[in-house]
Structure 1
Amino acid sequence: MSETSLNMNYEPEVIVDTDTLSREDWLSYRKIGIGGSDVAAIMGISPFATIRDLYNDKLGIEPLIEEESNWVAKEVGHRLEDLVAEIFAKKTGLTVFPVRKMFRHPLYPFMLADVDFFIIFPDGSYGILECKTCNYNARTKWEDGGIPDHYVLQVRHYLSVMNMEKAYIACLYGNNENEFIVRPIERDMMEEEEIIAQEEYFWKKYVEKQAEPPYNGKPDLILASIRKYGGYADKDLPEIEIPMHHSVDLEKYLILSEEKSQLEKRKKEIEAMQRELSVPFVEQLGASCKAVLSDGVRRYRITYNPTRRTQIGKDAMEKLKVQHPDIFEEYTKTTESRTFRVKKEAA
């Protein structure tokens, strides 16, 4: 698909009025296509989900994000959308308004858009405003004019569905209007073609054919996804034979394990030396938590702060399980972690 092959003469279709939808119905409508926040998972750069997670969500196998997961941050972001839009309008002088509808691309009906706000520009044209919030430390992801990549994909998807040329992303990271970031995004037809191609391949190759896509994305997310759908470990299952061509990767794994072992050994040596050097200072501090040393040129501040945890010991936990099984069952949760190791043996 070349840049000139995109048909630019279209208007988005309205699927449903979202203002009256329940959350359950809204989630159901999202399953009939690909939304802006889904694109990063397809492209393998999502910080939250893999392409397999997205596939399972679209087929109704497993929700993409559990309702309890990080619900406070999501709720804060939702509640502050209007405030972010208000600050943007005040800072830019542009007119901003919501349209509570879900839109669909008429040429690629698997592409959906649920846009936060729209903008009226002075020349009478329309654009998109995407409202974000983040904590103070996460503001560094926006430094030097940058925008987190998954947000860029989201907005480019919206521009394509709505057939608009410009959007802004506004992000509030503090509690006043100066702790506010505004970034413009111009439509880029070459990038848009790539996004459409990847979305179309995902939808037609995997979702419509109900064929699981291969994993892509960040290793930690992939491993978490595999554990999520794989169920609990079963030591009674027979040994699996791995194809011979994977031996190269296992050799690399073992080399990295040896490098890690050497680094950890050196780390332990350094920590032991630091503990030895700390002894006289800890002795002088006693029950105090801070100290200062000044030699006339430099000033050193020392802290020795406590970290306290209240927990139930292993023996007490066993007693609780026996004596009060109902309480134990209500307040404990079984989790599973698995350790991957490689050991080389003679054939």
Structure 2
Amino acid sequence: MTQTLEYQPLVLVETENLSRDEWLAYRRRGIGGSDAAAVLGISPFRTGRDLYFDKRGIAVPDDEENWVAKEVGNLLEDLVARIFSKKTGLQVFKRPYMFQHPHYPWMLADLDYLVELPDGTFAILECKTTNYNARDKWWSDGVETVPVYYEAQGRHYMAVVNLSRVYFCCLYSNNEDEVIIRHIDRDMAYEQELIALEDIFWHDHVLAENPPDYTEDGELILESLRRNLGPANTAAPPVVLTPPQSVRVTRFLELQAEKSVWDAEVKALEKEMQRMKALIVADMGTSCTATYEDANGGYMVVHILEKETAYYGTAPQL
């Protein structure tokens, strides 16, 4: 698949005066940026099958658990944009349209803001909010990053509106200094793969009325089942499993047995570690610290007996 950069996005609809139901109806005409992570199987919020049910307009019970977080994000969007503009000196503005890719009409984009860059070109701004503890998702091994599910969203948007940069501004507390600003630039290899997978999802699943398989982790699948199926019916007759389904039961039992072995080994290791700790404390007597040095370096042991805790750390080599 070859992607040409000589195109302009189409306007599917002006969104400023749409009701929520009308807006949702337009969203169901294709795949939007916030859908991309679910298509790729990397969304922490919903499965590909959840997305399929949404696009098919199949009634799913509302998930009331995180509605406050979603509402806070919507209410603070303009504030986050103002903070971004103040921090960067870049002008931001809205274009209240749902855009459509001219070559792939099922690719849609409903942008938060556009950014005017100093050279007269434009970029996309996505406004995010999170809590203080979740800010760590914007780093990976100490390196600044964009969470993969937001990256997929941004790359989808760049493909639709044919722009080469997306900024993310994430507010994680209640003052302007507690904000994270990141950007990603266009990656055509990623984009082509994304388009190919979205094309399969739209045509082979949504239009073909063929629900995708569950490929996500267990917790997310169980949450999806809870939303889509509701509570179990204790009066329902037993389900007769097919041979392929029985393989899953067999594998579960194998993993359960394997886990039991590992649990026993972990308990044995923890017991031996506790014994070694006790012997170290015995060597230290009434002292709270001990040091050791040899040709390879050294370390310090700290133990506070009164609090029944110990900390073992390495000190810089001398």
Q: Number of residues paired by the alignment?
A: 277
The 1:301/1:96 distance shift into structure 2, 3 A limit, reads farther
Structure 1 residue ranges, 4+ long, deviating more than 6 angstroms after superposition: 265-271
Out of 13, 16, 27, the residue aligned to residue 16 of structure 1 is 13
**8 Å Cα contact 2:93-2:115 kept in structure 1:** yes
Match of 1:147 in 2: 146
Match of 2:36 in 1: 39
- Aligned partner letter, 2:242: I
The 1:9/1:219 distance shift into structure 2, 3 A limit, reads same
Q: Secondary structure at the match of 1:20?
A: coil
Match of 2:27 in 1: 30
Unaligned runs of 5+ in 1: 275-293, 304-347
Deviations 1:109-152 (Å, cap 9, x if unpaired)? 10111100001111111110011111000011112211110000
1:229 deviation in Å?
3.5
Match of 2:233 in 1: 233
Within 5 Å, give how 1:23-102 maps onto structure 2: 23-63=20-60, 66=62, 68-102=64-98
**8 Å Cα contact 2:63-2:227 kept in structure 1:** no
Match of 2:184 in 1: 185
The 1:142/1:236 distance shift into structure 2, 3 A limit, reads closer
1:223 deviation in Å?
2.5
Distance between the aligned counterparts of 1:208 and 1:221, measured in 2? Answer: 24
- Please, what TM-score do these two structures have when normalized by structure 2? 0.78
Unaligned runs of 5+ in 2: 275-285, 290-302, 309-318
Distance between the aligned counterparts of 1:50 and 1:239, measured in 2? Answer: 24
Give the strand-richer structure, 1 or 2.
Answer: 2
Residue 105 (1) aligns with residue 104 (2):
no
Match of 1:200 in 2: 199
Within 5 Å, give how 1:252-263 maps onto structure 2: 252-261=251-260
Within 5 Å, give how 1:244-255 maps onto structure 2: 247=247, 249-255=248-254
Residue 243 (1) aligns with residue 254 (2):
no
1:264 deviation in Å?
5.6
Distance between the aligned counterparts of 2:4 and 2:288, measured in 1? Answer: 73
Deviations 1:161-210 (Å, cap 9, x if unpaired)? 10001111111112222211111110111111011111111111111121
Q: Could you tell me the percent identity over the aligned residues? A: 48
- Aligned partner letter, 2:11: V
Match of 2:280 in 1: none
Residue 161 (1) aligns with residue 160 (2):
yes
Out of 126, 133, 136, the residue aligned to residue 137 of structure 1 is 133
**8 Å Cα contact 1:52-1:213 kept in structure 2:** yes
The 1:236/1:301 distance shift into structure 2, 3 A limit, reads same
- Aligned partner letter, 1:32: R
CA root-mean-square deviation: 2.7
Q: Secondary structure at the match of 2:125?
A: strand
1:79 deviation in Å?
1.2
The 1:300/1:115 distance shift into structure 2, 3 A limit, reads farther
Match of 1:222 in 2: 221
The 1:87/1:51 distance shift into structure 2, 3 A limit, reads same
- Please, what TM-score do these two structures have when normalized by structure 1? 0.72
